[in-house]
Structure 1
């Protein structure tokens, strides 16, 4: 390629986590695909620990790429999405993390680096929603952060805060088992005052609150069957178990929901299953919450410390993703209508008193 052609040809930018991506192999494959497509040489941007990759993504964007390949975990993708949303520059996902939840949701090849890279140069584009969490700390200072998978307080925030990077690297999603067990056995409920889409404020006692753009947790556990990354809505789930039987009911329901994706018979069982008080769902475009005691919050697997209030909104179709042309779009699982977060004659009052083993 001549010097003039190289200047006019498109180029790919690669934002990569140095501790997770197989950089040398990635360089070989990206360079080969770019050369085959007649593109200029790719440009490389390593992430920095202090910003999870936001600075690298901004540097990449400033150089006007045709596509940005993001090689890392969900935290790296979250940081890049915060920069690239609304710009019209597509992201191609190169999964290199523990959960890779957005990549799973989009059907990106997890163990085939060549196939994942090829989508950047020859795939099609799909718009997905981006959620924005405005968080207030105990001093009343607000910060704003984009995310694409889910925000959580309780169980998954404990997972994010109490699982070290070395365990995740060597054990994968199994590294989360210990913090999950500690959180479940402790079963500490907290008070949350919340409202959805400006409706009247409600009070709950919950163990875990998750606001999802995607519906699947680490370990391929389907938490929110009707969540879709491009429907313009946020899906909220509250876990409010009344002791051991409540957790058993949640575990059984999540197992059924996961199996329902693969089995028509299981979907019929799920459609006839009774509602669970322990697991309540809602959806909307704005979720606002305050906490009696500041709680740890996670966004896409990264802990953001203690917050006293949160306001989460959705930006429909704000992020462009480049995926393989043959990938079918993810469809929600049909099944029993989820229990809604509405007035419940059987629901506890603000004091949250429960019988220890009530489901």
Structure 2
């Protein structure tokens, strides 16, 4: 028998049927295929009609995710780019409501890291209704600006200061829409040619404070950049750790070394021989790595910062921490395994 006895009347009460919610970016989500797939899978699962929540120009997904959560969604399907996912995760992390991804847009770095197909809309929707649960880490960045004002935001892929933030700030949405990864070529080239280093004082996990000069600092939960470039080989999305990488080339030859190392790291995912070569390669001064649960830094001059591809303006200090297993996902049994 479905339901439970009502304490006052002794009659059975029937729980309302489950329902899914879709938080979607209207300009990026594959809406026709998404609606068709959801209609088919919600019927097969015996769920109620899915509820739809469109993101807005002044809100990339947080308000939509809050409405979906408040209205009792049993799973929240997020369809958009990394920014839409980040905004929804900021609301849904720390709850038991699972998130299912239908990738859209340019980067989709979390989806790539989890092994979620960027082309299989039906498979992504099927996972939302019948997939398995998986929990992953979420990063939190506390940002301090020149006025001393502090803001705290979540991210699931990476936080970047330097080249990564410049890419987010100086690449137009129109260029990203039409050119994809190639839209970043010009800002990358300009940044490398200028090779302006900045000074910072930092520490990892409360250790001693160190000083450094760097061109780029990235704190990653995932290790892959746009264009499938493997930046942080040790980054694992559910290991309870953050991975820090500093790019600190002294010249264009340093950039050449970084480019060669990143190429090798990408190849190592597919080639056992390349992995052996990489293991024997000497450490690269221009590319320094660290790992921990907390990263703190203060900059001599205000620097731009990005979280999952979205710019968050200039900051003078940042404190980044990991929240282990904070986000519930719904994925195919083989995804990300």
TM-score, length of structure 1 as denominator length: 0.89
Given that 1:6 and 1:39 are in contact with CA atoms closer than 8 Å, whether structure 2 keeps it comes out as no
Given that 1:7 and 1:40 are in contact with CA atoms closer than 8 Å, whether structure 2 keeps it comes out as no
Q: Does 1:90 align with 2:113?
A: no
Q: Distance in 1 between matches of 2:266 and 2:62?
A: 33
1:7, distance to aligned residue in structure 2 (A) = 7.1
Q: Does 1:177 align with 2:188?
A: no
Q: Does 1:303 align with 2:308?
A: no
1:6, distance to aligned residue in structure 2 (A) = 10
Given that 1:71 and 1:96 are in contact with CA atoms closer than 8 Å, whether structure 2 keeps it comes out as yes
Match for residue 8 of structure 1?
16
1:327, distance to aligned residue in structure 2 (A) = 2.5
Match for residue 88 of structure 2?
80
Can you list the C-alpha shifts for 1:166-197, whole angstroms capped at 9, x where unaligned?
11111111111111111111100000111111
Match for residue 222 of structure 1?
230
Secondary structure of the structure 2 residue equivalent to 1:224:
coil
2:67 aligns with one of 33, 39, 59: 59
1:328, distance to aligned residue in structure 2 (A) = 4.8
Q: Distance in 2 between matches of 1:71 and 1:164?
A: 20
Structure 1 segment 276-291 matched on structure 2, within 5 A: 276-291=284-299
2:254 aligns with one of 246, 266, 271: 246
Structure 1 segment 311-326 matched on structure 2, within 5 A: 311-326=319-334
Q: Does 1:103 align with 2:111?
A: yes
1:208 aligns with one of 208, 216, 222: 216
Structure 1 segment 155-174 matched on structure 2, within 5 A: 155-174=163-182
Q: Distance in 2 between matches of 1:306 and 1:213?
A: 22
Secondary structure of the structure 2 residue equivalent to 1:180:
helix
Q: Distance in 2 between matches of 1:202 and 1:177?
A: 32
Match for residue 340 of structure 1?
none
Q: Which moved more, 1:208-217 or 1:23-32?
A: 23-32
Q: Does 1:112 align with 2:120?
A: yes
Match for residue 356 of structure 1?
none
The runs of at least 4 aligned residues of structure 1 exceeding 2 Å deviation read none
Q: Distance in 2 between matches of 1:243 and 1:95?
A: 37
Q: Distance in 2 between matches of 1:156 and 1:327?
A: 27
1:24, distance to aligned residue in structure 2 (A) = 2.7
Q: Distance in 2 between matches of 1:170 and 1:185?
A: 25
1:326, distance to aligned residue in structure 2 (A) = 2.4
Q: Which runs of 5+ in 2 are unaligned?
A: 1-12
Q: Does 1:20 align with 2:39?
A: no
Q: Distance in 1 between matches of 2:225 and 2:123?
A: 24
Work out the number of aligned pairs and report it.
325
Q: Distance in 2 between matches of 1:268 and 1:196?
A: 29
Q: Distance in 1 between matches of 2:26 and 2:163?
A: 29
Q: Distance in 2 between matches of 1:174 and 1:189?
A: 25
Q: Does 1:259 align with 2:267?
A: yes
Given that 2:159 and 2:219 are in contact with CA atoms closer than 8 Å, whether structure 1 keeps it comes out as yes
Given that 2:243 and 2:289 are in contact with CA atoms closer than 8 Å, whether structure 1 keeps it comes out as yes
1:51, distance to aligned residue in structure 2 (A) = 2.3
**Do the aligned partners of residues 328 and 205 (structure 1) sit closer, same or farther apart at CA in structure 2, a change above 3 Å counting?**
closer
TM-score, length of structure 2 as denominator length: 0.95
Match for residue 45 of structure 1?
53
Given that 1:108 and 1:116 are in contact with CA atoms closer than 8 Å, whether structure 2 keeps it comes out as yes
Given that 1:12 and 1:65 are in contact with CA atoms closer than 8 Å, whether structure 2 keeps it comes out as yes
Q: Distance in 1 between matches of 2:135 and 2:237?
A: 9
Given that 2:113 and 2:336 are in contact with CA atoms closer than 8 Å, whether structure 1 keeps it comes out as no
Q: Distance in 2 between matches of 1:189 and 1:237?
A: 15
